[in-house]
Structure 1
């Protein structure tokens, strides 16, 4: 089951207001240390990256504010977070997965941040970020979460698998101007014949939109759903589905329980996976021989836009210490906080301009510049995430298509009908 799917089960409960309420502007008594709980989804390697900023914040404010960071598995993270927010164990500060942000805003689970950001205690201002980065964190002109960093999609390739099977590295194809969908189909066929998986394909917008954007397609244009009418979009969906049906790609939703892309990559079972920078710390710790490559194209251009994802940082509307919590998250996403976290092979790309060096200084893997190239032209998912539950419904359709229960044509028609139904209500 892919990332998008896991967030949808709790949408109705949150949207109905089960996570509402605000404690006002309580602060600790003079001399007391405020203790804040901070919840995120992360593997152990990513958690070490987040802890860097917590430690740096403690150096500045540890005698007045202490932050305890806890990491959960991505599996069922949103459901677990919602359960805690409903009860008495809700964190003061929490990461929100992009596909569930609109649901948490609608359910009043996150405090408005604009007034604090304009005040003297904030380490960052809204103007420090590009306008297009906010996505579903804003509603009716109000900001409910901050954007700590961003992740443009690139392909990771396992050099050991390429060498074992005797396939040229993607960088060689790219340098020749031949890193295309046709080349990808050819080499993944070779991996299949050798008993390896060529590429792990996710369902839902999270897995498919990169192919759509990369082919010059769109899910919607000017407020109109075009997923079932735009030729470039249809071509991309049909291509990805054909790769899955032919066995060139393996659908992540069909993998055995507990067997994910990262484990398959590290055990040399798969040649390529698509992701942002978040897999980098884990692969480096595992001493994998890998590198990045831009997405293969089908347009004649060497590089086209891919998906840019973000997770967001919010303050629980029921925290006892809203001012202290906002102060921490403003530091965490500030230029200083991002540099502390993302230098030395962090797990994301900065969301504030001027910090590009944290990606390219002493880069590992070699072609870290491709992350910056991708974010320069990348596209976030906005339309599917603005309507609570829509991305989950679309994923259901993609899933049954990839499992072979419906054709690509049937899936495309259903995708268009469902998107219009839910956004026109």
Structure 2
């Protein structure tokens, strides 16, 4: 996933509201069948390598299908992707298929905008539906229905500048991992050494966090056994475990000064930070760095080994002009062969492809050991970041409430109790 998720989610509030108001109905179909033969797929990437791969799959799909006039991947602006997509849906100009963020899955499903693809996936023996990892489908399922295929299941991990850590006298994370000593405390210690030695401006950055995209903190929250809300819609911010998680970051920012404080920024790829937490689907720029780098899973914390996964799903829109062809393209573009091609950028949910040997064929930047530990093991043991109905409003209210925590003398416990007061009504009603 390559959009700036903060802007996507924040901008999506009005769009998802329109979605719920104007697009319900037809969740199991109801579009216009074969339509005009011009398939349109909304995506948030403009990356030329991504689009070359996607267009290649689209071209192959049209090769022996004269009824398909074109397959177009429409690159919507990442800064307002969800707004643009939901506005199209609500205004009667829906794409045939589109990418959806896992945190917004519930809104799209509950508004009945997506076609249940499970019957078609199961009916096609060559599709190998049982090859899909059940744990990676959870966000997109309702009972036996499946409303999107999580084409990108991308674990969060720690990537690091091995040269900078060595110069600062900090232990190599891969060696700590091998010794069973790769913990959040060890990460914080290494980050402080880098900052104290002035080897880099900061020891750690959390990609795209910037004290606004709060859900980038799920890796730290999970390590402490904290969660923003529970399965029965109770707010989790008032849990003492959440206080410990937020204070861990506050200590790094305001005491150790080893991670950017509010208003500061640092770029890992240019060497301004020795470590970064981000998703494995975003490692492309590492091909151009001149220093030695490494990659390890998220550290273990007080709650043990808690890996976190971000997802993007591909869905067929029930009100699209070409529902029948869209369903065909869905099955074609996500079959085993094309899933293997997409694995170059997007970790797949197929068990048969989740081997270091298979992934190594399309992932030249990561070693087989890194592929196994950072991607495969994390996908098999990790948890997908939670979504919720009304997520856009919920996320914005949470961000606003957490603003008070990002000062040196903040009363973390009180701030988090206030966050719960603010978001509990949304959790209860979903809007």
Asked if TM exceeds 0.5, the reply is: yes
TM-score (norm 1): 0.82
Deviations 1:361-395 (A, max 9, x none): 5752232222112112101123x424433233323
* Secondary structure of residue in 2 paired with 1:149: strand
1:248 matches 2:258: yes
SS of the residue 1:364 aligns to: coil
For 1:293 and 1:149, locate their aligned partners in 2 and report how far apart those are by CA, in whole Å. Answer: 19
In the alignment, is the contact (CA less than 8 A) between 1:38 and 1:69 conserved in 2? yes
Question: Partner residue of 1:352?
Answer: 350
Is 1:71 matched with 2:78? no
Name the Cα RMSD after superposition: 3.3
One of 7, 10, 13 as aligned partner of 2:9 = 7
Question: What is the rounded CA distance, in whole Å, between the counterparts of 2:248 and 2:83 in structure 1?
Answer: 33
CA drift of 1:75 comes to: 2.4
Structure-2 residue corresponding to 1:273: 276
When normalised by structure 2's length, the TM-score is: 0.81
Shift of 1:239: 1.0
Matching residue of 2:371: 368
Separation in 2, partners of 1:255, 1:330: 45
Q: Secondary structure at the match of 1:151?
A: strand
Contact kept? 2:19, 2:111, Cα under 8 Å: yes
1:225 Cα deviation from its structure 2 partner: 2.9
Give the CA deviation at 1:235: 1.9
Give the C-alpha shift of residue 243 in structure 1. 1.9
Do the aligned residues in 1 keep the contact of 2:187 with 2:299 (CA within 8 Å)? yes
Deviations 1:371-424 (A, max 9, x none): 112112101123x42443323332333344236695321232133334432222
TM-aligned CA deviation for residue 56 of structure 1: 4.5
Structure 1: gaps (5+ residues): none
Q: Which residue pairs with 1:305 in the alignment?
A: 306
Say if 1:171 and 1:339 are closer, same or farther in 2 by CA, change over 3 A.
same
Q: Alpha-carbon deviations, 1:171-190, whole Å to 9, x = none? A: 23333433222222222223
Q: Is 1:238 the equivalent of 2:247?
A: yes
Q: Which of 196, 211, 223 pairs up with 2:232?
A: 223
Q: Which runs of 5+ in 2 are unaligned?
A: none
**CA displacement 1:15-52 (0-9 Å, x = unmatched):** 442345766342158xxxx2211121225144445445
How many residue pairs were aligned? Answer: 407
Q: Does 1:144 align with 2:147?
A: yes
Matched, 1:26 2:28: no
1:148 to partner: Cα distance: 1.4
Contact 2:53 2:342 in 1 (8 A): yes
- Counterpart CA distance in 2 for 1:267 and 1:146 is 35
Q: 2:397 aligns with which of 369, 386, 393?
A: 393
Contact 1:385/1:391 (<8 A) preserved: no
Change (3 A) 1:24 1:89: closer
Change (3 A) 1:365 1:287: farther
Q: Compared with structure 1, are the counterparts of its residues 373 and 266 closer, same or farther at alpha carbon in structure 2 (3 Å cutoff)?
A: same
**Partner SS state of residue 82, structure 1:** helix
1:122-143 Cα offsets, whole Å, 9 max, x none, are 8646544233323442346543
Matched, 1:184 2:181: no
Distance 1:119 1:164 in 2: 57
Q: Which moved more, 1:151-160 or 1:131-140?
A: 131-140
In 2, Cα distance between the equivalents of 1:96 and 1:191?
A: 38
Q: Secondary structure at the match of 2:320?
A: coil
Do the aligned partners of 1:19 and 1:108 also contact (CA within 8 Å) in 2? Answer: yes
Change in Cα spacing, 1:92 to 1:286, as seen in structure 2 (3 Å) is farther
CA pair 132-178 structure 1, distance change in 2 beyond 3 A: closer
Change (3 A) 1:403 1:91: farther
The alpha-carbon deviation at position 155 of structure 1 amounts to: 0.9
For residues 340 and 11 of structure 2, what CA distance do their matches in structure 1 show?
A: 35
Superposed displacement of residue 322, structure 1: 0.4
Contact 1:295 / 1:306 at 8 angstroms: preserved in 2? yes
